[in-house]
Structure 1
Amino acid sequence: MSTHKNVPWDALEIGMEAEVTHLCNAEDFYVFANASGNLNPLHLPKEDGDADGQPEAVAPSMWMGALISGVLGTYLPGPGTLYKDQTLTFLSRAHAGDTITAKVRLASKEEGRLAHFDTWVEAEDGSRIAEGRATVIAPDKAVEVDLDDVPGLTVQTHRHFDHLLHLAEPLDPLITAVVAPEDDASLGGALLGYQHTLLTPILVGNAAKIKAVADEMGEDISHLELIDIPDHSAAAARAVQLVHEGRAQALMKGHLHTDDLLRHVVDKEKGLRTNRRLTHIFAMDVPGLDHLLMVTDAAINITPDLKTKVDIVQNAIYLAEALGIDQPKVGILCAVEVVNPRMPSTIDAAVLSKMSDRGQIKGGLVDGPLAMDNAVDLEAARTKGIRSAVAGHAQILVPPNLEAANMLAKELTFLAHAMAGGIVLGARCPIILTSRADDEQSRLASCVLAVMMREWKKTQP
């Protein structure tokens, strides 16, 4: 239980001190910007506030002042304290990533329960960033308060994808055959990847439509290769052929039906089949979650059998490894966390878990059946008596069928404000699938996944 006791007026003694140490992070600055209305770009971690080409992420000065207020209101004198006045002089600056300490020391007392404090903020090396004086009205009675029910905040930033983008942008662009980019969404996604040096697009489709869309968007595509094939099926076939010729390293779906593209990918003679089934994986950056979360398969395999589920799991493990997750934890989801012969998905889950134990699924830790709560919440797993390395820590979620996976992914996107990148694996090259509902950041995330997958495959036999 989180409880705080105050120091009432009569118990205050000259020289008493209190302090709070805090790591400055991006979320702090965004919360302060939203709460205060101070949108100065110098304080926003992704923005370049002084046009020098670099984001500054300077800690807002009054945010540091608020840390002093936190010490006074929470610790000394603590609950029941009211500000009378505060002076501050700022001597230097703090930035995101710095550790700072706000301190207060009681200097004197005055009638009317007035307490005068020296206040200051220190950098990690002990140098002062700010200093001043505060006068507060101290509480007259001892109080102990339970603060467990104070609502928390989730900041809608996507730091995991930001990190992956930072890793992917310096790499060689992925030469990508973009099939039928004949609307602003699909062409825009390809151009966004190009602008971030992730992709080198080869545009395959109706040249007149593609040029018209580019003109409407105000984009110059004259420097990009454009192959004029008006028929969607023929365009998909040509894109697959570009991979065989070594001219393309990935495919990207444009303004055509997914089936029209994948039909040529899985063609037994001219396609891009391997010994694994094609499966779709969403990599999701969920605000407040300290790791990426993957959901599979939400787009291709409708009612997968056990053999297909093996490939669904294995492909997801490969992608997780490509994104830097060592020995990813895979939760096989069912409605219950026990094997029930009347629920075939629970039997599949148990078999997948055992196959992983015996090395038939490689690279990850697989456990199931798990219900959603005990897959992602450690306390829920403990309540159910489940002990495993995966329960409560799952990084990859494998629902029993496409409907459940698709609903889970969309719930995370539209209710939990997750950013989702989608990719198809199991073919000879990554396939970037985007939807008209995807925003720019989701399209960019999908491109990042393909680039990271290409780099990972270079390290594999």
Structure 2
Amino acid sequence: MVDESRPIGGEKYRRLIAAAQNATRIKVAVAHPCDDVSLRGAIEAHKLGLIEPILVAPPERIRSASKEAGLDVSGFELVESAHSHDSAAKAVGLVTAGRVEALMKGSLHTDELMGAVVAREGGIRTERRISHCFIMDVPGHEQPLIITDAAVNIAPDLDAKVDIIQNAIDLLQAMGAPEVRVAILSAMETVTAKVPSTIEAAALCKMADRGQITGALLDGPLALDNAISQEAAAIKKIISPVAGRANVLVVPDLEAGNMLAKSLSFLAKADAAGIVLGARVPVILTSRADSLLSRLASSAVAVMVAAARRKSAAPSIH
């Protein structure tokens, strides 16, 4: 049971955590968890049966942080590092050694961890573009809402957006969604050369028709109201299986996505879990401002992604 005092929202995250508890606990390299918040998130995820953390940090920093927070880390494996950049590199090294199925960001900067992830030497990139997904628990909205990409790709081109969308589709499928409905957002629902994001949206939908994006229903361009409100879609006379019912929102660029996610967090009291996909393992990417429940939900999503990857990699028996 998650003890979280936040008065609004959270029920969708609790369902996610409960579902992940039915999967196999995964080993996670926690990069530089040298403060109360990141240490507590890893320990609580372990208590809930989600992860087996391997702490990667300078030993004296871990001892100081755990003592100050009143946390016992004596039962966890500690991989010694010299500093935050070294923590990131050694955490990624645990992936290449096949020892962990996910990474978790500690108290280091996001660019330090992601720099190690995408490094030419020793990194864990794949052919797929790396992208970030916010899994938003919005009060009053029935299902979790995926927003992508609001943290990694600043101004993705059309090819990058194909991977960004496919990553989000794979994520929602791993989370057990029976149907993935992707809305490609713009400021309007009509295609015009004056607004380039509308042309990209139309192209992406046609690419899905041609099998270049699979596993979901796509529609776009859609304005935000038409994507999530059936009433707004009806007023605009938009007939679509996605309009008003989208569970993935693809934004034109990082600025739009960041503003959308933070608007939901601070104005609608939504929680925002975060995960990076497209690397060899999922990366649990949290913010210092995230609630404990958001951190646990991020871990739960990583467990589901890892379980889906194990299932897809298993040899089929005919």
Q: TM-score range by the shorter chain?
A: over 0.9
**Which shifted more, 441-450 or 261-270?**
261-270
Structure 1 residue aligned with 2:300: 448
Aligned residue number for residue 413 of structure 1: 265
Alpha-carbon separation, structure 2, partners of 1:205 and 1:353: 45
The offset of 1:352, in angstroms, is: 0.7
Name which of 56, 59, 63 aligns with 1:211. 63
1:190 aligned onto 2:22? no
Distance 1:183 1:162 in 2: 25
Aligned twin of 2:242? 390
When the two structures are aligned, how many residues end up with a matched partner?
Answer: 310
- 1:436 matched residue in structure 2: 288
Report matched runs for 1:49-60 at 5 Å. Answer: none
SS at match of 1:312: helix
What secondary structure, in the 3-state scheme, does the structure 1 residue paired with 2:312 have?
coil
The equivalent residue for 1:311 is 163
What is the distance in 2 between the residues matched to 1:275 and 1:233?
Answer: 25
- Identify which of 52, 67, 90 aligns with 1:238: 90
Runs of 4+ in structure 1 off by over 6 angstroms are none
Cα distance in 2 for residues equivalent to 1:280 and 1:46: 25
Structure 1 equivalent of residue 316 of structure 2: none
Deviations 1:138-170 (A, max 9, x none): xxxxxxxxxxxxxxxxx8332222112111124
Cα distance in 2, alignment partners of residues 254 and 156 from structure 1: 26
| Aligned-residue offset at 1:269 | 3.4
User: What does 1:56-95 align with in structure 2 at a 5 Å threshold?
Assistant: none
Corresponding residue of 1:399: 251
Q: Which has the higher helix share?
A: 2
Which blocks of at least 5 consecutive residues in structure 2 are unaligned?
314-318
Q: Within 2, Cα distance between the matches of 1:382 and 1:167?
A: 34
Q: Structure 1 counterpart of 2:295, which letter?
A: R
Partner residue, 1:166: 18
Q: Which has the higher contact order (CA 8 A, sep 6+)?
A: 2
Q: Is 2:10–2:293's contact at 8 Å kept on the other side of the alignment? A: no
TM-score normalised to the size of structure 2? 0.94
Partner secondary structure for residue 220 of structure 2: strand
What amino acid does structure 2 have at the position aligned with 1:160?
Answer: K
Q: Which runs of 5+ in 1 are unaligned?
A: 1-44, 48-154
Distance 2:24 2:143 in 1: 26
Identity %: 51
Question: Residue type matched to 1:391 in 2?
Answer: A
Query: Partner residue of 1:202?
Result: 54
RMSD over equivalenced CA pairs, Å: 1.5
DSSP-derived class of the 1:403 partner? helix
Structure 2 SS opposite 1:460? helix
Q: Which is greater in Rg?
A: 1
Give CA-to-partner distance per residue, 1:352-384, whole Å, 9 cap, x none. 111111111010111100001111111211211
The Cα shift of 1:263 comes to: 1.3
CA distance in 2, matches of 1:165, 1:414: 23
